[in-house]
Amino acid sequence: MMKKDKNPIAIIGGGPGGLMAAETLAKAGIPVTVYERKPTLGRKFLMAGRGGLNLTHSEDIETFMTRYGSAAARLRPAIENFPPAALRAWCEGLGQPTFTGTSGRVFPKSLKASPLLRAWQIRLSELGVTFVFQRQWLGWNSAGELVFTNADGKTETAAPAATVLALGGASWPRLGSDGGWLEILQQQKIPVTPLRPANCGFAVTWSEIFRSRFAGQPLKPVMLSFAGKNIQGEMMVTEKGIEGGVVYALSAPLRDEIEKNGGATLTLDLRPGVSSAELTRRLSFPRGTLSFSNFLRKEGGLSPVAIALTREIGGKDVQNIAPAALTALIKALPLKLEAPFPLDRAISTAGGIRLDALDDRFMLKDKPGVFAVGEMLDWEAPTGGYLLQATFSTAVWAAQGVVKWVGTQ
């Protein structure tokens, strides 16, 4: 049975981008229907908050904008229109006070996404937003109507005055973001770039002994260096490679290097707080009856996983090299990365709708009345609050563009 929705604005996707667009439109007095493929809203948003919901960052706006790389110029109007201070005020308006951590990251005091999402849903309901769940978007029919399948597999259509696409990227597919929209837009000749993993780990082929003993263990502190960037923090060894905050911070250039040359070499400083001269002095002490591992632990200050990694990369003869050469290895350990982890293990995605396919309001140039926001757009940023901030900001900006566009029709 065919069913038509007469609400003037359709938002496809019930994540933070879609919900913020819905709120912006509803506050402007425009009826909104949000179509969500899952039975509940904000599943990826809730997952992101399990370890502490990092909403945004407190650094100055000029530094903040550099985190978006080549997309910064296109995103700047949206982020300046709804900046970090506005996002914090919005969160606090929902009864969720925020605080700034020692790293400059901004969190709700509850640290969780669930209280914020509950309060947000109440607000949206009070604003009259309609939610339709378990609707899989299939694209447009020949009449230009939106086409969905419902939970029973039946087809439904909607003919809104405007549409906001907020379908996310392709990470966390089990939560609803599987990138299936990319093929729909390609069929419509909308310019897109392939989706790629961002803020991801990387594959390394470990020896069986290293993998079996150290998978799941953190390496900290460690300084990672690649392409002129140095990042200090904590890295996690996994069965199939490495991941963690410092790895994610370098994931974009590492991924691009692997795509270009088939691999990338990451440099690790296993003792970032100790100079090469001091470490060489310590490693020049007589070893005596100490084993190589105990010597590195006692004099070098290395953790068991760092010692094992030194052996893994340096080979079986590493214990026989001179102190200066051993220092050079510890301070600049070359780790060969083979491939980024796949999309379904990434925190976010790069690629999507090309920014030059959108006008200044984030409306598709080739499909008037259709706007796109958030991770669907071809930009990427590191973790630290930059991902959610741009998602919220682009949603507000596009929704304001919808208000203006609808007013001219």
pTM assigned to the model: 0.92
Query: Do 29 and 54 contact (CB within 8 A), yes or no?
Result: no
262 φ, ψ (degrees, to nearest 5) = 85, 5
At residue 95, does pLDDT exceed 90? Answer: yes
* H helix runs in 234-363, sequence order: 245-249, 251-261, 276-283, 292-298, 304-314, 323-331
Buried b (16+ CB within 10 A) or exposed e, 372-407: bbbbbbbbbbbbbbbbbbbbbbbbbbbbbbbbebbe
Q: 5 pLDDT band (50/70/90 cuts)? A: very low
Mean of all residue pLDDT scores within the chain:
95
Q: What is the pLDDT of residue 176?
A: 81
Angle of CA points 156, 131, 13, to nearest 5°: 80
Separation between Cα atoms, residue 89 and residue 95, nearest integer Å = 10
Segments making up each domain of the chain, as ranges: 9-197+348-408, 202-340
Mean pLDDT of 341-356: 95
Strands, sheet with 56-57, edge to edge from the N-terminal-most edge strand? 56-57, 105-108, 98-100
For 9-197+348-408, which CATH class? alpha beta
At residue 6, does pLDDT exceed 70? Answer: no
At residue 333, does pLDDT exceed 70? Answer: yes
Tell me: the pLDDT tens digits for 195-237?
A: 999 999 999 999 999 999 999 999 999 999 999 999 999 999 9
94 φ, ψ (degrees, to nearest 5) = -95, 15
Q: Return the minimum-mean-pLDDT range out of 92-101, 105-114, 171-180.
A: 171-180
Strand partners, 224: 231, 268
Query: Do 135 and 149 contact (CB within 8 A), yes or no?
Result: yes
At residue 3, does pLDDT exceed 50? Answer: no
Q: What is the pLDDT of residue 7?
A: 54
- Report residue 312 CA to chain centroid gap: 31
Measure Cα distances from 343 to 296, 302, 340, 404 in Å: 38, 33, 9, 36
Query: Do 12 and 35 contact (CB within 8 A), yes or no?
Result: yes
